[in-house]
Amino acid sequence: MKIPVSVFIILGCLCFNIVFAQTSSAVLPIDPDTKKITYRDIVTQEGNPGYLYDKAIQWFNYYYLSPASVFSVQDRVNGKIEGLGRLRLCNVDTKTGSKTDGSMVTYLIKLEFKDNRFRYTLTDFSLKLASRFPIEKWMNKEDPAYNPNWDSYLYQVDTTMQRLVSTLKEKMKPTVVKKDEW
């Protein structure tokens, strides 16, 4: 069986894109005041603070394997949830393409609720070591200790946070109840 050359070209391009995407520099949002990586937005969503709080708790139960270990503040009365999230980085061997579990990155997650809107904040990203290591240091390519894997780690953090935000926004939408009209 002969395989057309175009199939090899397409597969080569796909493999290049996958490797390039994992090693290219991600553009992460930097707060101009704190100079920290910060994902923050105010989302308009129908509902009072109590309803939005309950929807957020449902999302935490959906998104996190052990949501109780994330929470540090659960305040329904004042419309606030805070916690410490964690994500496991993946090390990719550039020669073999094999993946292994890497270090743990922690981050602060904060949700605040008001009538018909909520605000999320994801910040204080740190590599979990004996002492605090802010991952903003990975963005400095002039650092003598610079490691090309840092670009991949930043990409992983960014894609994980983008997925977190999109699932949060989706799960915060009102649940549609379909009537069974038979």
What does pTM read for this prediction?
Answer: 0.78
Q: What is the pLDDT of residues 102-141, one digit of tens each?
A: 889 999 999 999 999 999 999 999 998 878 889 999 999 9
- Helix, strand, coil: what percent of the chain each, to 5? 35, 30, 35
pLDDT of residue 4 exceeding 70, the answer is no
Which residue bears the tokens 């904060």? 110
Q: Is residue 181 part of a domain?
A: no
Mean pLDDT is lowest, of 22-31, 93-102, 162-171, for 22-31
Average pLDDT over residues 55-71: 96
| Joined tokens for residue 85 | 């999230």
Q: How far apart are CA 21 and CA 153, in angstroms?
A: 11
Domain with residue 73: its CATH number is 3.30.530.80
Half-sphere exposure of 141 (CA within 13 A, CB side): 7
Closest CA to 84 of 103, 106, 64, 66: 106
Inter-CA distances, 29 with 17, 36, 41, 168, Å: 23, 8, 11, 18
Q: Is residue 164 part of a domain?
A: yes
Q: What is the pLDDT of residues 18-52, one digit of tens each?
A: 444 444 457 899 999 999 999 999 999 999 999 99
| Joined tokens for residue 134 | 């802010």
Q: Is residue 15 part of a domain?
A: no
Q: Is residue 22 part of a domain?
A: no
Q: Is residue 38 part of a domain?
A: yes
Report whether 125 contacts 134 (CB < 8 A).
yes
Q: Is residue 34 part of a domain?
A: yes
Q: State residue 20's pLDDT score.
A: 40
Average pLDDT over residues 152-177: 93
Q: Give the pLDDT band of residue 3 (cuts 50, 70, 90).
A: very low
How many folded domains does the chain comprise?
A: 1
Q: Is residue 83 part of a domain?
A: yes
Q: State residue 23's pLDDT score.
A: 44
Q: How far apart are CA 122 and CA 143, in angstroms?
A: 25
Q: How far apart are CA 29 and CA 87, in angstroms?
A: 18
Report whether 26 contacts 151 (CB < 8 A).
yes
In whole angstroms, how large is the CA radius of gyration of the chain?
20
Quote the domain boundaries for residue 46: 29-171
- Reported residue count of the chain is 182
Q: How far apart are CA 152 and CA 99, in angstroms?
A: 12
Q: Is residue 12 part of a domain?
A: no
Asked whether the CA dihedral 105, 33, 53, 179 is positive or negative, the reply is negative
Which residue bears the tokens 């996958």? 18
